[in-house]
Amino acid sequence: MTDHYETLDVPRDASPEAIKKTYRKKAKKTHPDKGGDKAEFTALALAYETLSDAEKRERYDRTGKDGKITDIEREARNLLCKEFASLLDAMKTRIFDVDPFEKMVSSIDRSRRAKHKKITRVERDIVHFEKVKTRIRRRSETAPPMFELMIENLVRAAQEQIVYSKLNLQILDKANEILADFEWERDVVIVRTIPTTGAMPEFLYG
């Protein structure tokens, strides 16, 4: 895969203005209507489309892939930022022994287990609703099918819950994947015993 920065002939820290200026200059020379090569112009256009968009450029710099981040990844990032923000207060006084990434992994694991349990429960509800529906008998054709329709609506709502829960699981899995690229720098704890009778050990944090 051709490097977009090489295609545009700009450094990786090039400003948006420099990227735009270089693209316009090269586009005039490579445009097919001006006798340029179509493949070269297409590669140039793709490079500019990626590097001129802040979100696409950030993703390209990080992964080497084109395109914007997916909705799943965006939701996962938002989730992690909210989790991290909720830990900031605890970190004010206990920054040396609070690993926010470890706590976020634990929180995500709890959420994943809860989602799996919910899906299992709702699937059982659907089976129950369907069984109930088969028991309903109308004595005349003029009797309204209101109970069957009610159950169908309940089943439909339950199916939507499952879809939503599975989507949340994808977000949680992506959040775990993102967290795998981070680690917390812990303080080194040095225990020094003061040589006096009955003295408590002194904890130093470096």
> How many domains, the chain?
2
Q: Structural domain of residue 59, as residue ranges?
A: 4-63
**What pTM, to 2 d.p., does this model score?**
0.65
**Over the stretch 146-183, which tens digit does the pLDDT of each residue have?**
999 999 999 999 999 999 999 999 999 999 999 998 98
**Over the stretch 74-116, which tens digit does the pLDDT of each residue have?**
899 999 999 998 888 777 766 566 788 999 999 999 999 999 9
Specify the pLDDT at position 1. 60
Say which residue the tokens 């129950």 belong to: 128
56 shares a domain with 37: yes
169 shares a domain with 76: yes
pLDDT for 10 beyond 70: yes
Specify the pLDDT at position 206. 45
- DSSP codes joined into one string, 97-160: T--HHHHHHHHHHHHHHHHHHHHHHHHHHHHHHHHHHHH---SSTTS--HHHHHHHHHHHHHHH
Asked if the structure places residue 126 within a domain, the reply is: yes
Which CATH number does the domain housing residue 35 bear? 1.10.287.110
